[in-house]
Amino acid sequence: MGLFSFLSQDIAIDLGTANTIIIRNDKIVVDEPSIVAIDTRTDKIYAIGEKARQMHGKTHDKIKTVRPLRDGVIADFKSAELMLRGMIKMANARNRLFSPALKMVVCIPSGSTEVEVRAVRDSAEHAGAREVYLIYEPMAAALGIGIDVEAPEGNMVVDIGGGTTEIAVISLGGIVCNKSIRIAGDDFTTDIQEYMRHQHNIKIGDRTAEQIKINVGSALPDLANPPEDYIVRGPHQMTALPVEIPVSYQEIAHCLDKSLSKVETAILNVLEMTPPELYADVYSNGIYLAGGGALLRGLDVRISNKTNIPVHIAEDPLHAVARGTGIALKNVDNFSFLER
Q: Where are the domains of the chain?
A: 2-140+321-330
Nearest to 69 by CA among 91, 84, 58: 84
What per-residue string of b and e applies to 126-154 under the rule 16 or more CB within 10 Å gives b? Answer: ebbbeebbbbbbbbbbbbbbebebeeebb
DSSP 58: -
Largest Cα–Cα separation, the chain: 67
Would you identify the CATH topology of the domain 2-140+321-330?
A: Nucleotidyltransferase; domain 5 (3.30.420)
Numbers of helices and strands, H then E, in the chain: 11, 17
Q: Are residues 166 and 137 in contact, defined by beta-carbon separation less than 8 angstroms? A: yes
Residue 51 phi, psi (nearest 5):
-60, -40
CA distance 184 to 180: 10
CA distance 166 to 158: 6
Q: What is the pLDDT of residue 297?
A: 95
Q: Are residues 87 and 20 in contact, defined by beta-carbon separation less than 8 angstroms? A: yes
How many beta carbons lie within 10 A of that of residue 307, not counting itself? 18
Q: Is 96 helix (H, G, I), strand (E, B) or coil?
A: coil
Query: Nearest 5°: CA angle at 145, between 150 and 304?
Result: 105
Nearest to 55 by CA among 240, 179, 207: 207
pTM, 2 dp: 0.90
Q: What is the pLDDT of residue 110?
A: 85
Q: What is the pLDDT of residue 3?
A: 45
Q: Are residues 169 and 276 in contact, defined by beta-carbon separation less than 8 angstroms? A: no
Q: Which residues of the chain have pLDDT under 50?
A: 1-4, 98
Residue 78 phi, psi (nearest 5):
-65, -45
Residue 21 phi, psi (nearest 5):
-120, 135
Q: What is the pLDDT of residue 96?
A: 55
DSSP strands (E only) in the chain: 11-15, 19-24, 27-33, 36-39, 44-48, 63-66, 69-70, 73-74, 102-108, 129-136, 155-160, 165-171, 174-181, 230-235, 242-247, 287-290, 311-313
Could you report the per-residue pLDDT of 62-93, keeping only the tens digit for each? 999 999 998 888 888 888 888 988 888 888 77
Residue 103's H or E segment, with its range, is: strand 102-108
CA distance 88 to 79: 14
CA distance 249 to 254: 9
Q: Are residues 18 and 189 in contact, defined by beta-carbon separation less than 8 angstroms? A: no
Q: What is the pLDDT of residue 111?
A: 82
Q: What is the pLDDT of residue 98?
A: 47
